[in-house]
Structure formats: structure tokens, C-alpha cells
Amino acid sequence: MTAATATIIAPDAPVERIALSVPDIGEHEQRFVDEAFAGNWIGPLGPNLDAFERELAARVGAGKALAVSSGTAGLHLALRCLGVGSEDRVFCSSLTFAASVNPIRYLGAEPVFVDSDPDTWCMSPRALERALQAAQRKGRLPKVVLVVNLYGQSADFRAIESLCGSYGVPIVEDAAESLGATFEARASGTIGRIGVYSFNGNKIITTGGGGAIVSDDVALVDRARHLATQAREARPEYHHLEVGYNYRMSNVQAGIGRGQLRVLDARIAARRGVFDRYRKLLAHIPEITWMPEAPFGQSSRWLSVATLTSGGAATRDALLASLDGAGIEARHVWKPMHRQPVFEAYDYIPHEVGFSVSDRLYGTGFCLPSSSSLTEAQQHRVVHAIDAALAP
Ligand SMILES: Cc1ncc(COP(=O)(O)O)c(C=O)c1O
């Protein structure tokens, strides 16, 4: 090999950092964005926005969709549309990101945290049942049950739907992490009265920041649209009967979303492929237990997540530190909401009396780089770093 053809790597060359989850742009996004610029449709209305809402609703089989500025905004609107106010309680999955709970507090309502089920890591039907029974005894049923579909996995709605139905409490599905997953033959996000997606940059598809609400109840989505546009009445002068929000997505972002929707299936296949490869390449480490996939549907495997069955939190933390040192972004599983100083005053209902699943998952769980664009070479680097960290 001559000097001209050799690949020269300087000994102190910086190691390329592998991120947890990054955007993966397809072929069509630029065209839709260019059309928005060409038509001067760059504000919060326009052809991309209308088409994105139609295309998203068609993709998931919902009656109607509303594109908004974030998943958090979508949750806020969903709760407000279902009448949540300062006198109310909202039951909510504890194992989630704070964005699921903050909108409950924006409305002055009281969250009650419900533990996870070991088979899905999502809301425990057993804990929910005990919580609903206790709430009925006290005459304080929740206004809404907010169920989070975690890391691309749908919750077990076989039990949750009938429980909530029998108590007459509507479900809001936080499907921020589960677009493209299924529950039986239904799309994740379409089981609850209202479903909410996120198109944040780390999600399975992105609009560079954004979210959406879906529902079969067209009137509810129209009400959310009204509230999302400062609750401005359809009159020539600026006329308002109630307090609203500035929560609409822009037509430029919706253009990115239209392109991304066209590659959603490919992105799901890629993320599932990443997960399967980790499982195969790390099969020789028996202490690693992978997040289960429930039999009633397909997870999108938004993130590849596992727990360590020996060594506890100290070993897990050492693993994360070691990966960080190797230029690899891996993360803890969400810290449960009942453990957060800001929410610790609120009630928590564990899976079984004296046995909290979310605490166990938080104590030993970790999320690995899971981007749909992750190359096999990058994934081998992650696997070698895990091998090195967990070597006896
Ligand atoms: C479970 C969950 N809910 C809600 C959100 C909020 O979405 P956004 O970041 O679009 O506001 C996120 C992600 O950020 C999330 O992971």
C-alpha cells in the first residue's frame, strides 16, 4: 500500500460520539419544505399542515389529527379538552418522562402515579384496578387515566380499556414514544379517547420539534384546534371567550413530517433490527435481560432497553460511565415520577403492595444507542464497549 492510499488515523484522532437517538431524514422532506418556501407558506397554516394531518390520521386509522408544536402541548390540550381542572385527579404512569405529568400540573390537577407491569413496563392493570377501587370508595374517581406507551411498547389495553370503561373514565394515550407500534390490530395512540404523538428530534420520526393529537371524536379535535390557536372565535374582529394557547405546528415543520411519514415503516424496521442485533451480539452475557415485547402487538423498539439482573444499580452506573468514556451515549431508564422531588408529594400505587416494578426497572435499566441510522460498525463498537465494561 502506498502512502497515498493508506488510511491514516492519527493516534489522538477524536472518537466519533454515538448518540442515543438522532433524526433520520428521507428523500422527500426537502421537497415539501421547498414547496412551503416557494408558496410563502411558512407560518402555522398551509397545504403541508392540512396534508400532514390527513396523512397522519390515515396512517394510524384515526378520525382526525391536529398537528401541534410539541407532544407536551398535545397532552396539555388533550387534558384540557377532557375537562381536567384544578379540582381533579389524573391517574398517570409513573415510569415516564416528566413531560407526561407537567401538563396535569399546568391545569392545577393532582397526579396519582401508577406503577408498571413487569410484562410490558407500561401501566400495571393490577395497580390501576386497586387505584380505581380505592378512588371509588373515596368518591374521587380520576377525571382521566393517562397511559404512557413506553419506549415503543403499547400498554396492555385489554385490561386497561375495560377497567376504565367500567368506571366511566376516559383514557389519554401518551404515544409520544410509540408511533408505529400496534396493540392487536390497532395503531398505538388510537386506543384512548385521545392519543398524543411527539415529533421531537429524538423520536422515531421527527418534524424537528412538534407533536400531534388524534381522536375518532372529531368535535374534540376541533375543540383542541380552537384552543391551540389562542381560542380565537371565528369573527372578523379578534374575539375571545376563553383562554387559549399558541400551540400550532408550522407548515414548514409539517413538510418535514410528510416526508418522515413516508419512511415510518422503514424506520420501525431499522429500529427493530438494531434491537435484534443487540440481543444476538450480547446473548453471551446472561445478566442482560431485554425489555419484553408483549404478545398482543408489535413494539416499534423506539429505544433498545434492557436491565442487568445482577450487580444492581452500582454495576449499571459503572456500565453507563464506561460507555460514556468510550464516546457512547447510553442512558438510565426514566426515573419514576413518584421519585421526582417535584412530584413526590403525590400518591403512588405500586404493582403489588410492597413491590414496585418501576423502581426495580429504574434501578437496573439502561437504554442503548438506537437510531435507525446506526451502522453495524457503530453497533459493534457499542457491543465491544459493553463487553469490556461487564468483563469479569
Ligand atoms: C413519554 C413522553 N411523553 C411526552 C413527551 C413530550 O414530547 P415533546 O418533547 O414533543 O414535548 C415525550 C418526549 O419528549 C415522552 O417521551
Does residue 3 register a pLDDT over 60? no
For residue 298, what is the domain's CATH number?
A: 3.90.1150.10
Domain boundary among 230, 245, 261: 261
Query: Does any domain span residue 167?
Result: yes
Rounded to 5°, angle at Cα 194 from 192 and 198: 105
Helix 218-228 crosses helix 71-81 at what angle (to 10 degrees)?
120
Q: Note whether 234 and 279 are same-domain residues.
A: no
Please enumerate in sequence order all residues whose Cβ is within 8 A of that of 303, keeping only pairs 6 or more positions apart, or say none. 20, 21, 151, 152, 177, 367, 368, 370
Q: Which three cell numbers stand for residue 143?
A: 377525571
Q: Note whether 205 and 297 are same-domain residues.
A: no
Query: Does any domain span residue 318?
Result: yes
Q: DSSP for 171-189, please give it.
A: EEEE-TT-TT-EETTEETT
Task: Kindly give the distance from the C-alpha atom of residue 351 to the centroid of ligand 1, in angstroms, as a whole number.
Answer: 24
Closest atom, ligand 1, to C-alpha of 150: 1
Query: Does any domain span residue 233?
Result: yes
Of 84-93, 94-103, 306-315, least confident by mean pLDDT is: 306-315
Q: Into how many domains does the chain fold? A: 2
Query: Does any domain span residue 9?
Result: no
Closest atom, ligand 1, to C-alpha of 211: 10
Structural domain range at position 67:
29-261
Question: 97: Cβ below 6 Å to ligand 1?
Answer: yes
Question: 72: Cβ below 6 Å to ligand 1?
Answer: yes
Q: Note whether 229 and 286 are same-domain residues.
A: no
Q: Note whether 376 and 308 are same-domain residues.
A: yes
Query: Does any domain span residue 136?
Result: yes
Query: Using one digit for the tens of pLDDT, what is the confidence trace for 268-298?
Result: 999 999 999 999 999 999 999 999 999 999 9
Q: Note whether 297 and 351 are same-domain residues.
A: yes
Residues paired with 93 in a beta bridge: 114
Closest among 249, 220, 279, 271 to 62, alpha carbons compared = 220
Strand-by-strand arrangement of the 288-290 sheet: 288-290, 304-308, 365-368, 331-332
Task: Kindly give the distance from the C-alpha atom of residue 211 to the centroid of ligand 1, in angstroms, as a whole number.
Answer: 9
Q: Note whether 86 and 225 are same-domain residues.
A: yes
Q: CA-CA distance, 187 to 61, in Å (whole number)?
A: 7
Count of residues making up the chain: 392
Q: Which three cell numbers stand for residue 233?
A: 372565535
Task: Kindly give the distance from the C-alpha atom of residue 200 to the centroid of ligand 1, in angstroms, as a whole number.
Answer: 7
Query: Does any domain span residue 6?
Result: no
Nearest CA to ligand 1 atom 12: 176
Hunting for cell 402515579 — which residue is that?
A: 113
Question: 103: Cβ below 6 Å to ligand 1?
Answer: no
Query: Does any domain span residue 23?
Result: no
The residue ranking higher by pLDDT, 294 or 391, is 294
Q: How confident is the model at residue 392 (pLDDT cuts 50, 70, 90)?
A: confident
Top mutation candidate among 198, 256, 335, 358 for ligand 1, by most atoms within 8 Å of CB: 198
AA identity, residue 303:
L
Query: Using one digit for the tens of pLDDT, what is the confidence trace for 161-182?
Result: 999 999 999 999 999 999 999 9
Q: Note whether 193 and 205 are same-domain residues.
A: yes
Residues paired with 65 in a beta bridge: 214
Chain center to CA of 234 = 34
Q: Note whether 255 and 269 are same-domain residues.
A: no
Q: Note whether 280 and 305 are same-domain residues.
A: yes
Query: Does any domain span residue 11?
Result: no
Top mutation candidate among 69, 97, 205 for ligand 1, by most atoms within 8 Å of CB: 97
For residue 228, what is the domain's CATH number?
A: 3.40.640.10
Q: CA-CA distance, 53 to 57, in Å (whole number)?
A: 6
Average pLDDT over residues 27-36: 97
Hunting for cell 442482560 — which residue is that?
A: 288
AA identity, residue 221:
V
Q: Note whether 316 and 333 are same-domain residues.
A: yes
Q: Which three cell numbers stand for residue 129?
A: 384496578
Q: Tell me 69's DSSP state.
A: S
Q: CA-CA distance, 275 to 152, in Å (whole number)?
A: 12
Average pLDDT over residues 196-202: 98
Give the CA distances from residue 277 to residues 121, 181, 274, 364, in Å, rounded to whole numbers and listed in that order.
21, 19, 5, 21
Task: Kindly give the distance from the C-alpha atom of residue 38 to the centroid of ligand 1, in angstroms, as a whole number.
Answer: 32
What is the percent of the chain with per-residue pLDDT over 90, rounded to a whole number? 95
Q: Note whether 159 and 283 are same-domain residues.
A: no
Closest atom, ligand 1, to C-alpha of 174: 3
Average pLDDT over residues 29-56: 97
Domain boundary among 212, 233, 261: 261
Please give the helix or strand (H or E) that residue 220 lies within, else none. helix 218-228
For residue 61, give the 3-state DSSP assignment: coil
Task: Kindly give the distance from the C-alpha atom of residue 97 to the centroid of ligand 1, in angstroms, as a whole number.
Answer: 7
AA identity, residue 116:
S
Q: Are 317 and 81 in contact (CB under 8 A)?
A: no
Question: 99: Cβ below 6 Å to ligand 1?
Answer: yes
Q: Note whether 60 and 173 are same-domain residues.
A: yes
Domain boundary among 261, 296, 317: 261
